[in-house]
Amino acid sequence: MSLFKRSVVSEITNHFSVVLSTLIVVWLSVILVRLLGEAAAGRIGADVVIGLAAFTTIAALPIILAVSIFIGVLTTVTRNYRESEMVVWFSSGLSLLNWINPVLRVAIPIALLIAALTLFGTPWANRQIGEYRARFELRSDLSKITPGQFLETESGARVFFVEGQSVANGPLGQVFMRIIDPDWLTVVTASSADTVLEANGDKFLVLGPGQRYDIKPSGAEMRLTKFDAFGARIESKDGEKSLETAREQTLNSRRSRPTELLIKDKVPASLGQLMWRISVPLAALNLALMAIPLGAVNPRMGRSGDLLIAGLIAMLYLNLINISQGWIISGKLSFSIGVWLVHGVLALFTVGLLMNRLRVKTPKPPVVQSAA
């Protein structure tokens, strides 16, 4: 490999690695904040946050990789122009066309990795995300109770709030519970709470000494009851049956469906998802090649304008893929055309940009000023 190719491949790889790690850190920061918010609200368990963050990152990795290789090539070409290294390469008889080979040396393995992720990795990750959430939904209401947090169960019919344990392995602290029945609104407060498992397998949350307030919303009737112990049944669920149902629902989701099943379906929704899985690796190759002419800038001009235009073109490309997917799902566009249409148009656009950069403009004749 020539000095030029080694230099370009090494620099693109370095820039790609930096951009990829930065985007992954940013993505993980955003997704962790969102998942921690859901955990605080009781919609997911705190113990599944790391797992969900990992699987969500795997599902988003194809787009992150495609954007990273685009920015990596773009910054490499731009830096060579701004530091006048391109003048040296052009003086050695090289042109922008010589960048295609080293760029493809880096882009093709990344595109193959993206293809493996979109065809196999991303559907598997989406299935794992659905199963994680389904397992949390199948937990008993008691297992979801977290000291210091409000918890809604049965679509808001019951609300629990408990304080932490005063001693290790002891009962929970003070308890607040609101129960909505068809005729009554019940508020229960107690000084402690513990769990009891009956012989038939039913679980009860047994409250210690406290008070119960029953209010009839439709009238003025109210009841006040003091108790030494009060039991509230924790709803039990058929775990295996419900988990199988949740898995079937996850497979029905096109994003989670294995690629071989999408091919067998032959319905517009499945073909649209299949088109997206094929398009992302092709888009990564197209974006890498498109970055070559887009990165060819004038060193005397500002850098922000060219980078902004390049970013907008990449966003437009990815949005066009999503639009084509929507058209295939709705039946407005056939799969055989939609799978290559956007990529073909953008490939022609890349060729046009390259030809424009390679074209040598005729110098303007000098302006001769006549003597007055």
* Tens digits of residue pLDDT in 153-179: 666 677 878 776 655 555 677 888 788
CB 257 within 8 Å of CB 251: yes
Averaging pLDDT over each range in 44-48, 143-147, 259-263, which range is the top one? 259-263
Condensed to tens digits (0 to 9), the pLDDT of residues 256-296 reads: 888 888 888 888 888 999 999 999 999 999 999 999 988 87
Phi, psi at 223, each rounded to 5°? -130, 140
**Rounded Cα gap, residues 234 and 245, in angstroms:** 22
- DSSP percent split of the chain into helix, strand, coil, nearest 5: 60, 15, 25
Condensed to tens digits (0 to 9), the pLDDT of residues 18-35 reads: 999 999 999 999 999 999
Provide the residue ranges of all domains of the chain, joining segments of one domain with +. Answer: 3-138+244-358, 144-236
**Rounded Cα gap, residues 331 and 267, in angstroms:** 10
**pLDDT (mean) for 305-316:** 80
CB 224 within 8 Å of CB 209: no
Overall residue count recorded for the chain in this entry: 372
**Rounded Cα gap, residues 231 and 195, in angstroms:** 9
Query: Is the pLDDT assigned to residue 138 strictly greater than 50?
Result: yes
**Rounded Cα gap, residues 196 and 230, in angstroms:** 12
Condensed to tens digits (0 to 9), the pLDDT of residues 50-74 reads: 989 999 999 999 999 999 999 999 9
Which pLDDT score is estimated for 235?
56
Which pLDDT score is estimated for 360?
54
Per-residue CA distances from 227 to 208, 212, 224, 368 (Å): 8, 8, 10, 107
**Rounded Cα gap, residues 266 and 96, in angstroms:** 42
CB 73 within 8 Å of CB 12: yes
Condensed to tens digits (0 to 9), the pLDDT of residues 84-112 reads: 888 787 888 888 888 999 999 999 999 99
In 3D, which of 159, 12, 206 has the Cα closest to residue 100?
Answer: 12
Task: For the chain, state the CA radius of gyration.
Answer: 31
**pLDDT (mean) for 244-259:** 68
Rounded (5°) CA angle 340-69-32: 105
Condensed to tens digits (0 to 9), the pLDDT of residues 172-225 reads: 778 887 888 777 888 888 888 777 767 766 667 788 888 888 888 777 788 888
145 pLDDT band (50/70/90 cuts)?
A: low
Least confident of 54-63, 77-86, 111-120: 77-86
Average pLDDT, the chain: 81
Query: Is the pLDDT assigned to residue 351 strictly greater than 80?
Result: yes
**Rounded Cα gap, residues 108 and 112, in angstroms:** 6
